[in-house]
């Protein structure tokens, strides 16, 4: 046995050795933690995406500073980060517009900054996508007329900003999804995302080089689930890469609205939640009992003076209620997986 002796000359050496082991141990833990943090992306492999991000989560790293142009009967609004790696064209749903994706600012006084649209754009900018939004010329997208206009603007915009070498990707929600699914037959997107939309595949001959397609949808929309399943099958039959992301309902919390909507303060958010609970608009667990578009939640808020007639956040609140209900709404909750989809198909050609 090795006998300990307080005055042995090796004791100092042992102390140093122990300290080195301790330092090495701590370093190992730190490095491991760092690697785990790096590899863990928000929401990844999580079927139940709950809003974790706040409206200002990207500050101060990413700020809105969009450019815009009005041309050929429509408007284009865009932002290009430093050293962009790809282009993302986003098509809104019916009644949407390019201005919904960007915060109101001196540079864009008519911008609306809807909570999901703006967060989707911020996610994309953070991942170095140059983001271009264009408004449809009518309430919904016109598959013929808008196709010509958008192709013209895309070409003009890419040349103007010298982005010729960059891979193109596209995301369309609802009517925008129909539009993107058709546009993808003659614009060379590396991959596309169809959100709450089955696309117009039954009306086309799907070419073999059709881009990889990710369907992001809300299964509560039963009728659409069936059509999406059929179209996924049709795409697969042509050897095209397809993916599916299901977005489920989630409960409201007292601070959900102030967390997600820039300008809506916490007191108002909590007051709205309390009224919703009292009125039975949400159940005891905070879930929406019904589609927020079908109930007069605004009236309940007016009664309590929480909402005036010209309340500017009504459409912002409506969007979050629809999202929480999990039925046919724009969503940014799956932004990470959506951008992973785009990134994993950037070098397709």
Ligand X SMILES: *[C@@H]1O[C@H](CO)[C@@H](O)[C@H](O)[C@H]1NC(C)=O
Q: Which is nearer to ligand X, 132 or 288 (CB)?
A: 132
Q: Which is nearer to ligand X, 122 or 153 (CB)?
A: 153
SS3 125: helix
Residue 152 engages ligand X in binding (rule: CB under 6 A):
yes
| Stretch binding ligand X (CB under 6 A), from 86-94, 148-156, 282-290, 318-326 | 148-156
In angstroms, what CA-CA distances link 33 with 23, 26, 36, 172? 15, 11, 5, 37
H-run or E-run covering 74: strand 74-79
Residue closest to ligand X when measured from CB atoms: 152
d(C-alpha 319, C-alpha 97), whole Å: 15
Residue 287 engages ligand X in binding (rule: CB under 6 A):
no
Q: How far is the CB of 160 from ligand X (least distance, A)?
A: 9
Structure tokens at 136: 């449809």
Kindly give the pairing relationship between strand 191-195 and strand 86-91: unpaired
Residues touching ligand X, count (CB under 6 A): 5
Residue 153 engages ligand X in binding (rule: CB under 6 A):
yes
Residue that the structure tokens 């609140």 belong to: 317
Residue 140 engages ligand X in binding (rule: CB under 6 A):
no
Out of 126, 156, 251, 298, name the contact with ligand X by CB under 6 A: 156
Q: How far is the CB of 159 from ligand X (least distance, A)?
A: 10
| Stretch binding ligand X (CB under 6 A), from 88-96, 151-159, 292-300, 326-334 | 151-159
Q: Is the peptide bond before 257 cis (omega within 30 degrees of 0)?
A: no
Give the DSSP per-residue string, 260-317: HSTT--HHHHHHHHHHHHHTTSB-TTS-BSS-TTTS-HHHHHHHTTSS-TT-TTHHHH
Q: Which is nearer to ligand X, 28 or 71 (CB)?
A: 71
Q: How far is the CB of 200 from ligand X (least distance, A)?
A: 23
d(C-alpha 93, C-alpha 135), whole Å: 10
| Stretch binding ligand X (CB under 6 A), from 152-160, 183-191, 260-268, 310-318 | 152-160
Residue 207 engages ligand X in binding (rule: CB under 6 A):
no
d(C-alpha 1, C-alpha 241), whole Å: 66
d(C-alpha 213, C-alpha 71), whole Å: 30
Structure tokens at 145: 């007329």
d(C-alpha 175, C-alpha 96), whole Å: 10
Q: Which is nearer to ligand X, 23 or 71 (CB)?
A: 71
Out of 57, 67, 72, 318, name the contact with ligand X by CB under 6 A: 72
Site string for ligand X, 76-105 (x = CB under 6 A): ------------------------------
Q: How far is the CB of 69 from ligand X (least distance, A)?
A: 8
| Stretch binding ligand X (CB under 6 A), from 149-157, 169-177, 196-204, 310-318 | 149-157
Residue 57 engages ligand X in binding (rule: CB under 6 A):
no
Contacts with ligand X by CB under 6 A lie at 71-72, 152-153, 156
């Amino acid at each position: 046995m090795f006998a300990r002796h307080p005055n042995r000359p090796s004791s100092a050496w042992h102390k140093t050795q122990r300290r080195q082991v301790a330092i090495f141990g701590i370093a190992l833990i730190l490095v491991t933690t760092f690697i785990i943090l790096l590899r863990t992306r928000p929401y990844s492999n999580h079927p139940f995406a709950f809003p974790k991000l706040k409206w200002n989560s990207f500050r101060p790293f990413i700020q809105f500073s969009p450019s815009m142009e009005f041309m050929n009967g429509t408007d284009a609004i865009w932002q290009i980060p430093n050293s962009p790696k790809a282009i993302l064209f986003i098509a809104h749903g019916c009644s949407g517009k390019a201005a919904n994706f960007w915060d109101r600012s001196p540079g864009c006084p008519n911008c609306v900054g809807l909570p999901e649209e703006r967060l989707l754009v911020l996610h994309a900018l953070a991942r170095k996508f140059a983001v271009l939004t264009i408004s449809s010329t009518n309430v919904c997208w016109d598959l013929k007329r808008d196709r010509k206009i958008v192709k013209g603007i895309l070409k003009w915009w890419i040349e103007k900003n010298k982005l010729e070498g960059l891979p193109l990707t596209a995301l369309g929600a609802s009517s925008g999804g129909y539009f993107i699914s058709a546009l993808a037959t003659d614009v060379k997107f590396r991959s596309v995302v169809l959100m709450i939309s089955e696309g117009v595949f039954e009306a086309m001959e799907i070419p073999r080089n059709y881009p990889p397609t990710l369907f992001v949808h809300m299964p509560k929309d039963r009728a659409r689930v069936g059509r999406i399943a059929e179209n996924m099958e049709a795409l697969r039959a042509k050897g095209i890469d397809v993916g599916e992301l299901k977005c489920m309902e989630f409960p409201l919390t007292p601070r959900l609205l102030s967390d997600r909507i820039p300008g809506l303060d916490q007191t108002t958010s909590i007051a709205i939640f309390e009224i919703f609970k009292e009125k039975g608009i949400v159940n005891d667990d905070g879930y929406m009992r019904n589609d927020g578009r079908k109930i007069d939640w605004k009236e309940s808020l007016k009664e309590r003076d929480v909402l005036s007639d010209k309340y500017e956040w009504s459409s912002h609140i409506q969007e979050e209620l629809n999202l929480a209900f999990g039925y046919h709404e724009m969503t940014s909750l799956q932004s990470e997986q959506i951008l992973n989809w785009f990134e994993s198909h950037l070098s397709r050609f």
